[in-house]
Amino acid sequence: MEISIREVAPFRIVSLSGDVDLHSSPQARQAILDAIKQKLPLLVELEAVRYMDSSGVASLVEGYQAARKQGTEFGLAAVATPVMNVLKLARLDRVFPIHASVEARLTRDA
Partner 1 sequence: MRTDHAHQLTEKAAHGELAGKAELLGLLASVSQEFVASPVMGETLANATQKILDYMDTEAVSIFLLDASQQHLTCVACAGPVSIEGLTIGATQGIVGRAVASGSVQMVRDTASDTDFSGAVDEITGFRTRSILCAPLTLKSRSLGALEVINKRSGDGLFSDDDKQLLQALAGMVSLAISNAQMTEALVEQERIRRELDLAREIQRSLLPADGDANFPVCGLNYPASEVSGDFYDFFVLPDGHIVWGLGDVSGKGMNAAMLMAKTISLFRCLGKTMPDMAQLLTRLNDEIVETASHGMFVTMVAGVLDPSSGEVRFANAGHQPPLYRDVDGAYREIEAECPPLGILPEVCYVEQTLQLDAGRLFVFTDGVTEGRTADGEMLGLPGLLALLDENAGEPAAIQLSRVASLLNRPGTRLFDDLTMLAVG
Q: By rule CB under 8 A, what string of x and - marks binding of each residue 47-76 to partner 1?
A: -------xx-xxxxxxxxx-----------
Cα 37 to Cα 91: distance, rounded to the nearest angstrom: 27
Interface stretch with partner 1, choices 6-14, 69-77, 87-95, 100-108 (CB under 8 A)? 87-95
CB atoms within 10 A of CB 95: 12
| Residue 96: closest CA among 48, 47, 51, 59 | 59
Quick one: 53 or 101, whose CB is closer to partner 1? 53
Quick one: 6 or 50, whose CB is closer to partner 1? 50
